[in-house]
Structure 1
Amino acid sequence: MTNDQFKIQNSKFNIQNLNDRRWAMGWAVAMLALSCVPYLVAVWLAPDGWHFAGIIVNPLDGHSYLAKMRQGFDGAWRFHLPYTPEPHQGVFIYPHYLALGHLARLTGLPLVWMFHLARLAAGLALLMAAYRFILRLAPDRQTRRLAFILLLTASGLGWLGVLFGAFPIDLWIPEAFVPYSLLTNPHFPLGMALMLVILGKIGGMGDWKVGRLGDWGVGLTALGLAVVLPFGLLTVWAVLAVWLGWQTWSRRQIPLSQLRQVALTVLFGGPVIGYDYWVSVSNPAMAAWSAQNITPAPPPVDVLLGYGPLGLAALLGGWHVVRQKNRTAAEWLVVWWAVVTLGLVYLPFNLQRRLITGLHIPLVILAAVGLTRGLHGHRYQRAAIRGVVGLSALGTLAVWTLPLLGLLSPPTPASLSALFFLRQDERQALEWLDSRTGPEDVVLASPRLGIFVPEYTGARTFYGHPFETIDARNRQAQATAFFRGEIETVTPVPDFIIYGPSERALGKAKGLARHRKIFEIGETAIYEVTK
């Protein structure tokens, strides 16, 4: 081949890559735009006198992220538990949410707007990082485009499993699926994007540069991942350890350059992981939180149904990679990523489920390989592709629609939809309290309203979260008993009491007359506690 012929061929390759990137960008933007539709529908479904609170996926955790942002909005760089009344020392965790709060203050944007802008930006970063990863891995257009379409749309058979009494993971573990993560929060997609950068760089997937920093860039990426999603870095380390061990054994050669890159990820990310662990055992408040924060692995049948046809296609793809003679190190990396992650999920410790983050990515790549290469020339190949894509997309449609079904019921204090909406008078009462409280003040409200107190007022709540309230069961029982009139005070004594429809629905509180009513609007009143 002459030099001119090489230049022409290289130019054609670059043009094709550019066209592919534009194609991927178009689909990514379209998917992110669609992820906003359920939120717009929720705004439209808000009943008269109610206000959509901004979160539709797991509102307990979603509003806890907004509460963390509120601390940054108020100028904090150390995190305090916002849902517990005990004074405690702040720690340097969740800096990404604290930083978003600072950014909201500087830009004048509401916290919930900043949250969703960050969600969309992180989602775009994930999708483009994933396509770049796929582009380096799959040289043929059919495989990489199918992998990307599955990445955007594929979920499992959760909608079918529910009919048989199962609870498949595609209905309740967003971090296990890219489409669900795009709908949920900023840190799941951002964490997965950083995982891809590290694995792509160390996996030798072409010229994957991290700025102009060379190998130091992968260390800084690991630092970012340790901050945003610590368990994601643990997964990356485990995958790389097994993959590099396999490479050393199969090639009879130690990959020194890749070991150096892994060492840099440990150098930069290790101290953050170590600090997180130290805080979880040495800080009494954080230790109490960690003791309650148990996330066990789902039953294997729920995992199988959760990935459904996608998982079957991924098995075919993995089998094809293992059997082919000219398999690449990058293909082995994807296989080990899937296998190691599944193994990590069932390690015997309290936070198993968190290690499932990102599993969707190697599965969609292997599924695309199985459907395009594993079934190449098969008479049913086209039908298989259509079946997997169709059923998987139907699963995502069900997952994205499911939260909206909860919004259709009237938001009575006892209903699920009451976690998605705030009464107008409740919101106005919280906004009034905002200018009169600080982070040291404690507010007693119903367990439902307690979820919203920290993000709207900056104060702490007596009870508001099953994990982030210390001694959560006792605090919830005390709050409920107080508003039922079974007890006249709670311990520790709060600074303010909110008494509105949500609290009246629990019963008739006693002893409010001895406290000073300082605000009332509609059916909601605020009392300053006499101590």
Structure 2
Amino acid sequence: MPKLTMSNSGDTPEITPDAASNRTERRLVGAMIAAALFLTSFSALLGYALVPPGMQFVGSAYNIDDFNVYLSWLHQTTDGQFFQHNLFTTDPQPSLLFSFLFSLMGLIARVTHLPLAIVLHLTRIAGGWGLLWLAYRFITLCFPKDRVARLASLGFLCFSSGLGWMHWSQWSDKNPPGAPIDAFQPEAYTFLSLYLSPLFTVSTLLILGTLYGLLLSFRTGRMRYASIAGLCGFVLGNIHSYDVFHIAAAWGLFLVVWTIWKRGRAVARVWAHAVWALALTMPTTLYIYYIYRTNAVFNERAHSLTLSPPLWQYVLGYGLVFFLAVCALVLAWRYSRAKSRLADAIGMPAPRGEAGTFWGWSNGTTLMFVACWAVAGLCVIHLPFNFQRKMLMGEHIPLCILAGWAASTLTQQLAPRARYAVVSLLVLLTFPSNALFLVRDANHLQVNSSETSQWPFLNANYLAVADWLTRNTPQGAAIAMSPIEALYLPGMTGRTVWAGHWSETPHYGETIQAFTRFSGSETADSDRRDFLKSTRAQYLVYPKDVSKMAYTTHSGQTRTFTDFAASPPPYLIPVYSNDGYAVFQIDLAK
């Protein structure tokens, strides 16, 4: 039987959801979660299934650059290091950064002896299950009596994308500018966050956990929920600190709107709970800010430009979900107007601050919060920060909840079977861009490439170099290599590279040019020495066959690369060689 509880107002009974006793709904929910987790693991499973003989799958077919950053962090924790060092630059830096998430994964890797990439995927799947399960609990809190709205909301959350599929020709191989965001911004969607990394998955889980706890604190008046929210924010501030802006904007806007709605009456307790949750959240966020101010390498990384594109790219990027979310707000407004007119007709004052049932929602304040969350999420990405668009993570959740309610409301006059069929079709219509994401990565696996031209499969020569460096160089050794090829070494060896990642390496573009000049056949020997000194590296990894390697200077001249393996200068001492690469120890004293 449904269970009666008291609402936040203290005088309106609510009906808590009885969905847990409904086996059909539980099975449907379980099937959706399982399908989402399987589909978001498809490319990884395909990669492991298609490994060519003598090669190794790096663990990801998309955003291989950042995946190797995660591997480098995880490698350090498995080596027993608590603080993370940026292994993609030899610039001096204090070791101050640490991550609760990667420390936990490092412990798992040490205990289980599983490959690091597998630990990342298992954590991604576990975090994904937790996120979708908690999302369903949150959706059930919103719609205790509307099964169609619950299932539609979860369906959109698990599978939806936008209209990027209409621009498929632009992003079938690369991430282009000017396309809808579902073509290039995974953190904007639950499906692609589950697909990409455990960091995105767990961070979205913590965003939802924080806001869920705050909403429960608001509705029940219990401080313990505010404490849970603060603890979620505390961990989030450590592992993905700029998401705190998203949370603060969502809950802050809701409190302002609700305070105005209540005309400032009986709001002190809710504000006090919010301040308490914020106080628990801030220590880790402030610590990250301290690192930002004191660590020049971290500061440079934080200033990597990820600015928000024009609004139309977001509208098209969410597509049908965005349209339905707007419909939901229009429906809520029309319902409120109709209720006010009815109150006027019977001579009663229009209700203000009421928390009773609201057209399928558990109460009006729940709708108010979800609407404020959706609006705030689209506002916060225009704050004056270089990482604007990254703060969109979590926005997909309120949009999908609003879209699910709109889909349920707009189809309520249909027969039950027709209603479920139409809602299911609406969910399926939002999936094509995600499907094309999977298709693109499957195609890249076939040709050993990616949207950033990095390799998902490493050949035997590269693997042998990484193995030699791991076994024969000290843990603090630094390695110079072509920045494009050096990407994989930190995660495989735990060693520092001079340059290897577009945002982790300061002035990455300049490092590519510097290495090209160093390799040029007409470069003066003194300039090569100066370059090697500037890298602070003890070892150089260099291609064995340079016969087909050349570059064009600014004046239009074609220059070939120097064959150091055939005729090494005295300051490069050969220590290892295979068919693909030569490894030299750098000794500038000679």
* RMSD (Å), alpha carbons: 3.0
Q: Name the counterpart of 2:481.
A: 445
Once the 2 structures are TM-superposed, how far is the Cα of residue 246 of structure 1 from its aligned partner?
Answer: 1.0
Which residue in 1 is equivalent to 2:256?
A: 245
Instruction: Pick from 107, 118, 130 the counterpart of residue 123 of structure 2.
Output: 118
Match of residue 358, structure 1, among 394, 410, 426: 394
Tell me the equivalent position of 2:443. 405
The alpha carbon displacement at 1:297 in A equals 0.4
Quick one: distance in 2 between partners of 1:504 and 1:470?
A: 30
Q: Deviations over 1:105-135 (max 9, x none)?
A: 2321111111111111111111011000001
Confirm or deny that 1:527 pairs with 2:580: no
1:45 counterpart = 2:57:
no
Residue type of the alignment partner of 2:446:
L
Q: Does residue 159 of structure 2 align to residue 153 of structure 1?
A: yes
Question: Are residues 1:271 and 2:283 paired?
Answer: yes
2:367 is matched with 331
Q: Which amino acid aligns with 1:156?
A: G
Q: Distance in 1 between matches of 2:221 and 2:99?
A: 27
More helix by share: 1
- Could you say which residue in structure 2 is the equivalent of 1:421? 457
CA contact (8 A) 1:200 1:208 kept: no
Structure 2 spans left out of the alignment, 5+ residues: 4-14, 171-175, 337-357, 551-560
Give the letter for the 1:268 counterpart: L
Pick closer, same or farther for the CA change 1:367–1:70 going to 2, 3 Å.
same
When structure 1 is superposed on structure 2, of 25-34 and 332-341 the one drifting more is 25-34
Matched residue SS, 2:366: helix
How much does 1:200 deviate? 1.7
Shift of 1:505: 5.8
Following superposition, the deviation at residue 180 of structure 1 comes to 0.5
Instruction: Supply the distance in 1 between the matched residues of 2:385 and 2:200 (Cα, whole angstroms).
Output: 21
Q: 1:394 aligns with which of 432, 439, 443?
A: 432
Q: CA deviation at 1:313?
A: 1.2
1:318-338 Cα shifts (integer Å, max 9, x gaps): 222233233611111111111
Cα distance in structure 1, aligned partners of 2:392 and 2:451: 31
Alignment correspondent of 1:367? 403
Question: What SS class does the counterpart of residue 149 from structure 1 fall into?
Answer: helix
Distance 1:34 1:290 in 2: 32
Aligned partners of 2:34, 2:392: CA distance in 1, in Å? 26
Show the counterpart of 1:301: 312
Any idea what SS the aligned residue of 2:375 has?
helix
Does 1:225 find its partner at 2:278?
A: no
Asked which structure has the greater CA Rg, the reply is: 2
Tell me the equivalent position of 2:380: 344
TM-score with structure 2 setting the length: 0.81
Aligned residue for 1:7? none
Contact kept? 1:218, 1:264, Cα under 8 Å = no
Q: What are the superposed Cα offsets for residues 126-145 of structure 1, whole Å, 9 maximum, x if unpaired? A: 10110000011012101101
Shift of 1:51: 2.0
Amino acid at match of 2:518: F
**Aligned AA (1:90):** S
In structure 1, the residue matched to 2:112 is 107
Contact 1:409 1:417 in 2 (8 A): no
Q: Distance in 2 between matches of 1:130 and 1:495?
A: 50
CA–CA distance in structure 2, aligned partners of residues 436 and 471 of structure 1: 30
Q: 2:294 aligns with which of 263, 270, 282?
A: 282
Q: What TM-score, normalized to structure 1? A: 0.90
Residue 497 of structure 1 is matched in structure 2 by 540
CA distance 1:323–1:51, shift in 2 (3 Å): same
Task: Between 484-493 and 444-453, report the one with greater CA deviation.
Answer: 484-493
SS in 2 for 1:288: helix
In 1: Cα distance, 2:168 partner to 2:375 partner: 26
Pairing 1:458–2:494 present:
yes
Q: Which of 182, 187, 192 in structure 1 is aligned with 2:199?
A: 187
Of 181-190 and 345-354, the range deviating more from structure 2:
345-354
| Deviation at residue 80 of structure 1 after TM alignment | 1.4
- Gap change, CA 1:486 and 1:89, over 3 Å in 2: farther
Cα 1:369–1:288 shift into 2, 3 Å? same
Aligned length: 522
Write the letter of the residue equivalent to 1:241.
Answer: G
SS of corresponding position for 1:203: helix
Q: Secondary structure at the match of 1:443?
A: strand
Aligned residue for 1:527, secondary structure, equals strand
Q: 1: distance between equivalents of 2:19 and 2:376?
A: 34
Q: Distance in 1 between matches of 2:194 and 2:221?
A: 25
What secondary structure, in the 3-state scheme, does the structure 1 residue paired with 2:90 have?
coil
Say which is worse superposed, 451-460 or 218-227, in terms of deviation: 218-227
Instruction: State the partner residue of 1:476.
Output: 512
Alpha-carbon spacing, 1:67–1:287, altered in 2? closer, same or farther (3 Å) = same
- Contact map agreement 1:133 1:205 (CA 8 A) in 2: no
Aligned to 1:76: 81
Give per-residue Cα distances to partners, 1:246-269, cap 9 Å, x unaligned.
111112224333323211221111
- Distance of aligned partners of 1:502 and 1:342 in 2 relative to their CA distance in 1, 3 Å threshold: farther
Show structure 1 runs of 5+ residues with no match: 4-9
The one-letter amino acid of 1:459's match is: R
SS of the residue aligned with 2:216?
Answer: coil
More displaced 10-residue stretch of structure 1: 384-393 or 265-274: 384-393
What displacement does 1:485 show? 3.7
Residues 516 and 528 in structure 1, CA contact (< 8 A), matched pair in contact too: yes
Relative distance call for 1:313 and 1:241 in structure 2 (3 A) is same
Taking a change above 3 Å as real, the CA distance of residues 213 and 386 of structure 1, as seen in their structure-2 partners, is closer
Kept in 1, the 8 Å contact 2:217–2:224? The answer is no
Please, which of 497, 518, 521 is the counterpart of residue 575 of structure 2? 518
Report the alpha carbon displacement of residue 213 of structure 1 after superposing the two structures with TM.
Answer: 5.1
| CA 509–70 in structure 1, closer or farther in 2 if over 3 Å, else same | farther
Aligned 8 A contact 2:61 2:444 in 1: no
Partner of 2:341: none
Could you tell which deviates more after superposition, 279-288 or 10-19?
A: 10-19
CA distance, structure 1, for counterparts of residue 218 and residue 69 of structure 2: 40
User: Would the alpha carbon gap of residues 14 and 209 (structure 1) be closer, same or farther in structure 2, given more than 3 Å must change?
Assistant: farther
Aligned-partner residue type, residue 164 of structure 2: G
Counterpart mapping for 1:81-92 below 5 A: 81-92=86-97
C-alpha spacing 1:309/1:454, structure 2 compared with 1 (3 Å): same
Partner residue, 2:60: 55
Q: Which region of structure 1 is more displaced relative to structure 2, 275-284 or 482-491?
A: 482-491
What SS does the corresponding residue of 2:431 show, helix, strand or coil? helix
Question: Compared with structure 1, are the counterparts of its residues 238 and 227 closer, same or farther at alpha carbon in structure 2 (3 Å cutoff)?
Answer: same
Match of 2:30 among 21, 25, 29: 25
Cα deviation for residue 57 of structure 1 reads 2.0
In 2: Cα distance, 1:205 partner to 1:434 partner: 51
- Give 1:12 deviation, angstroms: 10
Query: Partner of 2:469 in structure 1?
Result: 433
- Judged with a 3 Å threshold, the aligned counterparts in structure 2 of structure 1 residues 381 and 506 are, in CA distance, closer, same or farther, namely farther
**Seq. identity, %:** 25
Amino acid at match of 2:445: L
